[in-house]
């Protein structure tokens, strides 16, 4: 079971490792105490979820990494803005550390300031994809341009603010990234209307 102490120790080791590589800037090294309800937590889930799968519940702003029958690690996430969140059944076909970010034409149309990055932004602490990214592909094997990724804006966790992707804090995406192999199924459930 992951408890606050164990997670903080593993997160601290991750930050120290990243700092030692010279990739992490001072902003990331600054200690910010994550609220208890935002930490990854081992939880019991309903029957029918297979170990080794990811399930994103947009209504709860939660991503579940299924670890065993009826057991999962719950991570808090941010999701896509209304109209940009796309539910579906996907497969993780690519993983990247400090990924390069290239905005799509639709993103540039919505946010013209992104045009300066049309040829891509190198990975690093200021990159919108954060420390790690898991790339979601559809059943035909095509990249959907949806990602499960980190963020340099942890205050966006628990909100619908992205261009369609699910985002975790950088510390949490590093933890998830290390657990998830290529070929993992990722299910993003629809947003339920109230």
Eight-state DSSP code of residue 50: P
CB 115: neighbour CB atoms within 10 A?
12
Compute the distance between CA of residue 176 and CA of residue 150 in angstroms, rounded to an integer.
10
- Cβ atoms 118, 102 nearer than 8 A: yes
Rg (CA), the chain: 16
Eight-state DSSP code of residue 67: E
Q: Which of 55, 159, 165, 172 is catalytic?
A: 165
Residue 55 appears among annotated catalytic residues: no
- The Cα-based distances of 135 to 3, 96, 171 in angstroms read 28, 8, 18
Q: Which of 55, 149, 159, 172 is catalytic?
A: 149
Residue 149 appears among annotated catalytic residues: yes
* Paired tokens of 81: 């803005």
179 backbone dihedrals φ, ψ, rounded to 5°: -95, -30
123 backbone dihedrals φ, ψ, rounded to 5°: -65, 155
Please list the active-site residues. Answer: 149, 165
């Amino acid at each position: 079971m992951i408890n606050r102490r164990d997670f903080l120790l593993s997160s601290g080791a991750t930050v120290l490792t990243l700092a030692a590589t010279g990739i992490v800037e001072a902003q990331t090294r600054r200690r910010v105490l994550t609220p208890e309800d935002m930490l990854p937590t081992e939880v019991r889930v309903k029957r029918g979820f297979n170990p080794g799968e990811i399930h994103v519940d947009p209504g709860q702003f939660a991503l579940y990494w299924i670890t065993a029958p009826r057991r999962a690690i719950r991570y808090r996430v941010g999701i896509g803005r209304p109209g940009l969140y796309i539910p579906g059944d996907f497969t993780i076909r690519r993983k990247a550390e400090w990924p390069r970010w290239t905005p799509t034409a639709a993103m540039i149309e919505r946010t013209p300031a992104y045009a300066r990055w049309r040829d891509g932004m190198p990975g690093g602490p200021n990159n919108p994809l954060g420390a790690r990214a898991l790339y979601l592909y559809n059943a035909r094997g095509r990249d959907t341009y949806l990602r499960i990724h980190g963020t340099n804006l942890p205050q966006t966790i628990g909100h619908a603010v992205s261009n369609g992707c699910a985002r975790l804090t950088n510390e949490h995406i590093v933890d998830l990234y290390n657990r998830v192999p290529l070929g993992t199924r990722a299910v993003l459930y629809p947003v339920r209307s109230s």
